[in-house]
Copies of this chain bind each other. A is one copy, B any other.
Amino acid sequence: MPVADDRLRITYQLTCTPGEDPEAKARDIAFEQTVELPPAIVPPDIAARMVGRVDTLDPLGDSRWRAVISYDRVTVGIEVPQVVNLLFGNISMKAGILLTGISWQTTLLERLGGPAYGIDGVRGLCGIAERRPLVCTALKPVGLSAAELADLCFRFALGGIDIIKDDHNLGDQESARFRERVVRCQDAVARANAQTGSTSVYFPNLANGSPAVTEQVEFARAAGCRGVMVSPLIVGLDTMRWIARSTGLAVLAHPSMSGVFFQPDHGILPEILYGEIFRVAGADGVIYTNAGGRFDFSQATCDAINANLRKPLGALRPGFPVPGGGVDAARAPHWVERYGVDTILLIGGSLYAQGDLTRASRRLVDTIRRVCDA
Contact = CB atoms under 8 A, between A and B. Distances in A.
A75 interface: yes
B82 A171 contact: yes
A234 B74 contact: no
Interface string A315-356: 000000000010000000000000000000000110011000
A257 B234 CA distance: 12
A126 interface: no
Contact of A41 (B234, B242, B325, B352): B352
A211 to B, nearest CB: 5
A79 interface: yes
A86 B40 CA distance: 45
A92 B209 contact: no
Interface string A53-78: 00000000000000000001011011
B36 A171 contact: no
A78, A89, A95: which has the most chain B beta carbons within 10 Å?
A89
A33 B144 CA distance: 16
Contacts of A82: 169, 171-173, 207
B236 A239 contact: yes
A219 interface: no
Contact of A242 (B143, B209, B240): B209
Contacts of A231: 81, 85, 89
Given A91-B259, A237-B234, A37 B214 contact: no
Contact of A295 (B84, B93, B240): B93
A81 B207 contact: yes
B38 A88 contact: no
A242 B212 CA distance: 9
A296 B296 CA distance: 29
A310 interface: no
A92 B89 CA distance: 18
A207 to B, nearest CB: 4
Interface string A118-157: 0000000000000000000010111110000000000000
Given A214-B211, A231-B85, A236-B234, A258 B93 contact: yes
Interface string A215-241: 000000000000000010111111111
A42 to B, nearest CB: 6
Interface string A155-196: 000000000000111011111000000000000000000000
B255 A37 contact: no
Nearest to A258: B92
Interface stretch (A3-11, A18-26, A262-270, A364-372): A262-270
A35 interface: yes
A339 to B, nearest CB: 19
21 contacts: A32-B294, A34-B169, A35-B143, A36-B348, A37-B141, A43-B141, A49-B143, A78-B172, A79-B172, A81-B208, A81-B234, A82-B172, A82-B173, A84-B257, A85-B169, A89-B169, A93-B255, A209-B236, A209-B237, A233-B233, A260-B260
Given A85-B168, A90-B259, 10 more contacts: A34-B141, A36-B140, A36-B349, A37-B141, A37-B349, A38-B349, A81-B207, A92-B258, A209-B238, A260-B260
Top 9 A-B residue pairs of the complex, sorted by shortest distance between their CB atoms = A209-B238, A210-B210, A92-B259, A93-B259, A236-B236, A35-B141, A82-B171, A89-B256, A50-B143
